[in-house]
C-alpha cells in the first residue's frame, strides 16, 4: 500500500526462550566487546536460530572451500518464515552432547570467522530498513539487541553504530542484503501465481538466489547472458566471481518475475 511503512528487519542471532531487550540507536555509544576472554565466549553459537541470506552462502563457500550445493545440502534447512510464498533458509545445527550448536563452531571459536554470516557480524546490533515511499530512498536504522546471557554488554569498550559496522566489515553484507531485500519484496507478492509453491519458476528463483554454482551452469547452458546482450568482459567476470554473479542473479530474478529491472532495457 503506497505510503505504508515497510520495515524489513534483518534479525540478528535469535534463540528461543531467551529474554531479549531492544533499544533504538542513533549516534550514541554503547558498551560492547566480544573476545575469547569473555566468560560467555561461543555461548551465542549454541542453540542459535539463524536465517541465511544469499550472500552468506557466497561467503561460506570461501570459508569452507566447498560448493554452494553442498553447503545447502549439508548445512541448511528450509522453513516457513514470514513470506508464505518462498521458503526461509535456516542454518542447520548439529548435535553436540546435550545441545545443538552451529556446525562451524570449532574448539577455538568460529572456524569460518572471516567469512561468517552477516547476522553473526551484526550482533549486538539489529538492522532495519525503512522503505517508506515518502522518504524517497531506503534508510537504515539500528537497534541494540541484548540477550540475557551475553556478557559483552558489560565490557568497558564503548562503540557507536558506525564504528561497529566498520569493525565488522558489514558494508558489503548490507549492500548485498539490500539487493536481496528488493527480490524478497517481490517474492512476498506471490509472483508464482498458479504454479504455487515448489513449481518450476520458484525452483529456478531459489537456485538463482541460493545455489550460485548451479545458476552459473544454468546461464551457460541456456545462453542467458547472450540473450540479454551482456558484454563479453562482464560474462567472463561472472564465470569467476560469485559475488558479481549473485548481483546479476538477483537482478535477473526481478526481471523474470516482472519486477523493476534494468535487464532487457538495453
Ligand atoms: S558462524 Fe561462527 S560466529 Fe556464527 S554462529 Fe557459527 S560459530 Fe558462531
Ligand atoms: S560476548 Fe555475546 S556475542 Fe560475544 S561470545 Fe559472548 S554471548 Fe556471544
Secondary structure string (H, E, C) spanning the chain: CCCCCCEEEECCCECCCCCEEEEEECCCCEECCCCCCCCCCCHHHECCECECCHHHHHHHHHHHCCCHHHHHHHHEEEECCCCCCCCEEEECCEEECCEEECCCEECCEECCHHHCCHHHHHCCEEEEEECCHHHCCCEEEEEEEEECCCHHHHCCCEECHHHHHHHCCCHHHHHHHHHHHHHHHHHCCCCCHHHCCCCHHHHHHHHHHHCHHHHHHHHHHHCHHHHCCCCHHHHHHHHHCHHHHHHHHHHHHHHHCCCCCCCCCC
**Ligand 2 nearest atom to the CA of residue 123, by list position:** 3
Q: What is the pLDDT along the chain (266 residues), one digit of tens a residue?
A: 222 223 333 344 555 456 788 899 988 999 999 999 999 999 999 999 999 999 999 999 999 999 999 999 999 999 988 888 999 999 999 999 999 999 999 989 999 999 999 999 999 999 887 766 555 566 788 999 999 999 999 999 999 999 999 999 999 999 999 999 999 999 999 898 888 778 999 999 999 999 999 999 999 999 999 999 999 999 999 999 999 999 999 999 999 998 888 886 55
CB of 45 within 6 A of ligand 1: the answer is yes
Q: Whose CA is nearest to atom 5 of ligand 1?
A: 45
**pTM, two decimal places:** 0.90
Q: How far is the CA of 115 from the centre of ligand 1 (A)?
A: 10
Amino acid at each position: 500500500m503506497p505510503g505504508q511503512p515497510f520495515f524489513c528487519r534483518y534479525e540478528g542471532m535469535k534463540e528461543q526462550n531467551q529474554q531479549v531487550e531492544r533499544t533504538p540507536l542513533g549516534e550514541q555509544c554503547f558498551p560492547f566487546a566480544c573476545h575469547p576472554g569473555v566468560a560467555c565466549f561461543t555461548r551465542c553459537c549454541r542453540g542459535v536460530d539463524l536465517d541465511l541470506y544469499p550472500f552468506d552462502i557466497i561467503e561460506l563457500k570461501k570459508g569452507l572451500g566447498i560448493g554452494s550445493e553442498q553447503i545447502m545440502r549439508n548445512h541448511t534447512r528450509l522453513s516457513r518464515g514470514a513470506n508464505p510464498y518462498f521458503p526461509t533458509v535456516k542454518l542447520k545445527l548439529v548435535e553436540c552432547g546435550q545441545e545443538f550448536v552451529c556446525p562451524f563452531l570449532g574448539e577455538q571459536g568460529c572456524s569460518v570467522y572471516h567469512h561468517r554470516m552477516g547476522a553473526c557480524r551484526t550482533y549486538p546490533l539489529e538492522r532495519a530498513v525503512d522503505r517508506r515511499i515518502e522518504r524517497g530512498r531506503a534508510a537504515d536504522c539500528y537497534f541494540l539487541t541484548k540477550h540475557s546471557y551475553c556478557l559483552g554488554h558489560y565490557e568497558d569498550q564503548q562503540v557507536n553504530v558506525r564504528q561497529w559496522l566498520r569493525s565488522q566489515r558489514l558494508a558489503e553484507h548490507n549492500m548485498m542484503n539490500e539487493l536481496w531485500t528488493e527480490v524478497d519484496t517481490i517474492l512476498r507478492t506471490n509472483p508464482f501465481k498458479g504454479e504455487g509453491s515448489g513449481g518450476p519458476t520458484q525452483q529456478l528463483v531459489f537456485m538463482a538466489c541460493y545455489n550460485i554454482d548451479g545458476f552459473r551452469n544454468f546461464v551457460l547452458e541456456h545462453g542467458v547472458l547472450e540473450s540479454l546482450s551482456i558484454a563479453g568482459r562482464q560474462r567472463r567476470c561472472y564465470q569467476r566471481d560469485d559475488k558479481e554473479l549473485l548481483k546479476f542473479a538477483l537482478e535477473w530474478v526481478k526481471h523474470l518475475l516482472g519486477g523493476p529491472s534494468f535487464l532487457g532495457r538495453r
